[in-house]
Structure 1
Amino acid sequence: MVVPMYPDLVVNGDVIPQSAVAAELQNHRTSAKNFADALHQATNALVIRTLLLQEATKKKLTAKPQEVGPNKFESEEEALIRELLEKEVKVTPPGEAAIRKEWEKNPSRFRSMPLWEVSHILFKCDPSIAEDRLRAQARAQEVAYMLADNPNKFAEIAKNESDCGSSSSGGTLGQIRPKDTVPEFEQHLRKLQEGETTIEPVLTRHGYHIIRMDAMVDGNVLPFETVRQKISDAIEKAEWTHKAQLFIRELVSSAEIEGANMEKIKSKNTQHSLKRNLRKPTNS
């Protein structure tokens, strides 16, 4: 007798195959500790998708996939869900008073991007290969100790030790802004004050880094007119998402569902299960 790995999911009489649950589970962070939560999120996302597709079929919508990137198009299911939400979820752009009120809550939130001058020393490795990673980590730690004793020799050490092309210029990366580097690099960069160097080597997808913040200029507060459209778009998107969630909760409440606990979906906003199916139409 074969024991199913996942519970059978039945939505208004439609059975969701086990293979679909396994495939969806790959889109959620799983580990031995959080497998049950990830499975719960995956099954809820599948139930929501099925309900949306059932509703699109009921309304006799026809899939018209749109281009979402260079030579990349929606799947038929994605197109049907988008068209359903375009039809059912309507929002009105916020008025001037609402936009200004949001801005006045804290104008300092809206700044130009900061500018950083950064240097680094890279110890290249493939982090997925343990032996390679440990070798690079040992090199990086040794150089970190050298720098602790000789901080003024950063450029000289970078020229001799760094695996990055910037070694020829003493490790300097020049002026960079947020999102110019990989997220794990920027995460540590943001913790540094001007003149500071990371105490411990920083691991990214490229290897281990020793990072120095050479200089920094904070972003300036932007005037209302500059950020007005950005605030308007954010308010409209939040309202659209809220109404889309209400629409989905109505579908869930009126459906016959087996194999999934949808109580949280019915009662409150649960982004983990909804975000896999909610993408605000660009023309709404």
Structure 2
Amino acid sequence: MKTTSSLRLTTLALAALLAAPLAAQAQNIAIVNGKAVPKSRAEALMNQATKQGGQQRTPELEQQVRDEVVLREIFMQEAEKRGLAATADYKQQMEFARQTLLIRELFADFQKKNPVTDAEVQAEYDKFKAQSGGTEYRARHILVEKEDEATALIAQIKGGAKFEDLAKKNSKDPGSGENGGDLDFAAPGAYVPEFSQAMVKLKKGEMTETPVKTQFGWHIIKLEDSREAKFPPLEEVKAQIQQRIGQQKLAEFRDGIRAKAKTDYKFTN
């Protein structure tokens, strides 16, 4: 019985010794010149590619990452063999990289601990909505270079010619001319003062009786319609508002750290 037990123990010990390299191998992608390349290194690079690079995790990408990790180990070993890790330039570049990564972590940590709340988004949305209130106007226009051209076109329209047809044929505004002069709905502030002042005086369906001069030339303006200003629903602009508030918070955080620092250096701005 003792002999059988000893044999079993010896067999188990041998199996454990044989399994040890296999277990270690399972944790590594490869062995390069006797040095292990751990799977954790590939996983970290994969996370960087999928999270920061926006790539989808696929078998093809996983293979590319494994290839990249092993190649990096090969080239890194060669660089170290040549003594490049001891050069002043390498050490300086490593210091810059250390600073960049540490500062990035500082800001990422702040953003993680200070997320933009739904209440903040709602307050900012309400503020924008209040500022964007008022009336929007849908106008058409014909833009020409000379006053007498505009006057002649006004006469043609009064004589029965269609505004849209004359706009397509004569307007110098490439954006609206091919659409019959249609400018769609917009707030008066979207136009230069001379244009908006003439436009808001018109009633629906009316046209300016005389040409309107702006920095772009001479305009004939026709008001198609007006309405209360519309504002997109919160869900459509929530992401943009969150980003804007997040950037503001981060800027305030950076400025606060800079203001508290004791230094004799004078910044340019």
Task: Give the TM-score taking structure 2 as reference length.
Answer: 0.40
The structure with more radius of gyration: 2
Q: Determine which structure has greater relative contact order: mean sequence separation of CA pairs < 8 Å that are 6+ residues apart, divided by chain length.
A: 1
Q: Normalising by structure 1, what TM-score?
A: 0.38
More helix by share: 2
